[in-house]
Structure 1
Amino acid sequence: MSNRKWLLGLIALVVIFGYILSQFFFSTLKINDLVRQISPNKAEEASLKYVVLISQEQDNPFWREMEKGAKDEAGKQGIKLVYMGPIRSNPTEQIRLLEKSIALRPDAIMIQGMADPGYERLINQAVAQGIPVITVDADEPSSKRLAYIGTDNRAAGRQMGELVLKDHAGNGKIGVIIGSELADSQRLRLEGFRSVITSATGMEIVDVRSSNISHIGAAKQTRDMLSQYRDIRTIVGFSSLDAGGILEGVKAIGQEGVRIYGFDDLEITRQGIARGEIMASIVQQPQEIGAKSMALLSSFFQGDKLTGEYFIPTYVLDQAQLQGGGISP
């Protein structure tokens, strides 16, 4: 028996070591690709401006939409965009990619803000070396970043709260799924949502859980939440993959009458809204964020000043809009 335990322990260690090694390997590949995209070309095309966009998660639909908007506008402005990001949400790898980007000295860096003192120091280091940094999706306001372009996340949270109050029926027990406890955008959305819900009579947020920016994570957290709080009748998701996961979790546990609200415009969310299984979604405009960011950087390269925050509005996606009723305010 002891030999078997020893063998199982050894296998577990090998698996863990293999995972860590694979993450390091993939991270190295990304960094090498970043070097390849910037270094040789920059020597060949000295007049071309290079901008690095570091995403939170490489193939997340939100970030791919932002990449598209930024790339389209970059083409119009004569700018070369280099897009990078972790395969899965990984703050450590985001920091590593930022470090490497600074070392390669692009003409500007676009990054998501992160609640991490070391990350802020890196932003300030980049600016001190003459590399302008703008934040997208989530801000880093205490850093020396040039500007923030993106959603007013606290206002979007309030918008969600007002939507839930308008549609409210039955008891006021609410569950919340956030994408990440580390993302400042999620914290601000939750703050805005709380400010509306706590001021309403009979409404109560009974549980807040993190999906770790994962459809599967949102489904699991929803199942666990409903198992513990059977009287929840509304669940709100604050990251793009949450609504579909919440819907899966609600169906898995077999609880009827749960009103689901989500964030962003994913196909799975649209389908849920069309079927009446998801009430509505607060939609950001990542393409517009990417395009606006690149247009502002182009203006900056030409001598214009950028300061503060540039908010891109959100809108409500519901059945009325899907059926041609227009965008809700």
Structure 2
Amino acid sequence: MGKMDGLAISSVSTDALAPLIDKVIAAGIPVVTFNTDNPESKRLAFAGQDLVQSGREAGKLMAKVLGGKGKVMITTIDAAAQWSLDREKGAREALKAEPGIEVASTLNTGTDPQKIYSAIENAMLANPSISGVLSLECCSTPAAGTWVERNKAADKVKVVGFDLLDQTVQLVQSGDVQATIDQAPEKQGFAAVDLLVQFLKGQTIENLDTGVGVYTKDNIAEVAKK
């Protein structure tokens, strides 16, 4: 394999990948991050969602569907990951602004699909007063919605999450998930490569915020048709 002209990378682990990114940069190869950033590295730019802001939007949505009152559990597949910490920070900021909302401890579900569901099920059994589940990513969102569906609890427990997995779209349509936030992954991937092309042409590049897309039962049909 010959020398690459540029590298676009999704930096899931900030600590582990920062030295690698810096090594690639030192070799004269431009690096752009997308989806998840690595601001501690020497990467040139980031294309993706402002994770703290997307967390705030999720928190605001949760407060809205709860009518400003209730007990919220935050779920994530990796509580120690920087992307999760950033989103949680934003979500907690938004929820803290609502005096009628209590935030329970964050539930770290792990990444195995069956274990994600089991973790949520056990948490709901142990905390029957929870009235809202705010998922910070793709995979605990449909798990929480499925729990609501199976327990016919849509009138008691509201779910707000992230991404547009097919199952999540179906759960939004059925009313078992109240809202989900799109990360526009295709846009992020395209933007990262485009930034590299611009840099290689001698242009100055900057971070690109791909925005927050909110989908509820009112507009989820736009996605379902695709």
Global fold match (TM > 0.5): yes
Instruction: Give yes or no for the alignment of 1:183 onto 2:81.
Output: yes
Structure 1 counterpart of 2:117: 219
1:246–1:260: 8 Å Cα contact kept in structure 2? yes
**TM-score computed with the length of structure 2 as normaliser:** 0.90
Task: Give the 5 Å matches for 1:199-278.
Answer: 199-251=97-149, 257-278=156-177
Instruction: Give yes or no for the alignment of 1:153 onto 2:22.
Output: no
CA distance in 1, matches of 2:109, 2:63: 24
SS at match of 1:126: helix
Structure (1/2) with the larger helix percentage: 1
Q: What is the aligned-residue RMSD (CA, Å)?
A: 2.0
Structure 1 counterpart of 2:62: 164
Shift of 1:111: 1.6
CA distance in 1, matches of 2:93, 2:5: 40
2:75–2:106: 8 Å Cα contact kept in structure 1? yes
Once the two structures are superposed, what CA deviation does each residue of 1:227-260 show, in whole Å capped at 9, x if it has no partner? 2111001001111122211123345566562111
Once the two structures are superposed, what CA deviation does each residue of 1:3-62 show, in whole Å capped at 9, x if it has no partner? xxxxxxxxxxxxxxxxxxxxxxxxxxxxxxxxxxxx1xx4xxxxxxxxxxxxxxxxxxxx
Once the two structures are superposed, what CA deviation does each residue of 1:92-142 show, in whole Å capped at 9, x if it has no partner? xxxxxxxxxxxxx42222222244434211111110111111111111112
CA distance in 2, matches of 1:247, 1:166: 18
Letter in 2 for 1:259: K
Aligned pair partner of 1:298 in 167, 192, 197: 197
Letter in 1 for 2:76: I
Aligned residues: 221
1:213–1:239: 8 Å Cα contact kept in structure 2? no
Letter in 2 for 1:262: G
Q: What percentage of aligned pairs have identical amino acids?
A: 24
SS at match of 1:230: coil
Shift of 1:211: 2.8
**Which sections of structure 1, spanning at least 5 residues, go unmatched?**
1-38, 43-104, 325-329
Q: Cα 1:321–1:252, aligned 2, differ >3 Å: closer, same or farther?
A: closer
**Greater Rg by CA:** 1
2:25–2:42: 8 Å Cα contact kept in structure 1? yes
Structure 1 stretch 200-209 or stretch 154-163: which is displaced more?
200-209
**Which sections of structure 2, spanning at least 5 residues, go unmatched?**
none
Instruction: Give yes or no for the alignment of 1:196 onto 2:91.
Output: no
Structure 2 counterpart of 1:289: 188
CA distance in 1, matches of 2:17, 2:99: 41
CA distance in 2, matches of 1:118, 1:154: 21
SS at match of 2:103: strand
Structure 1 stretch 105-114 or stretch 244-253: which is displaced more?
244-253
Instruction: Give yes or no for the alignment of 1:128 onto 2:26.
Output: yes
Aligned pair partner of 2:5 in 94, 107, 112: 107
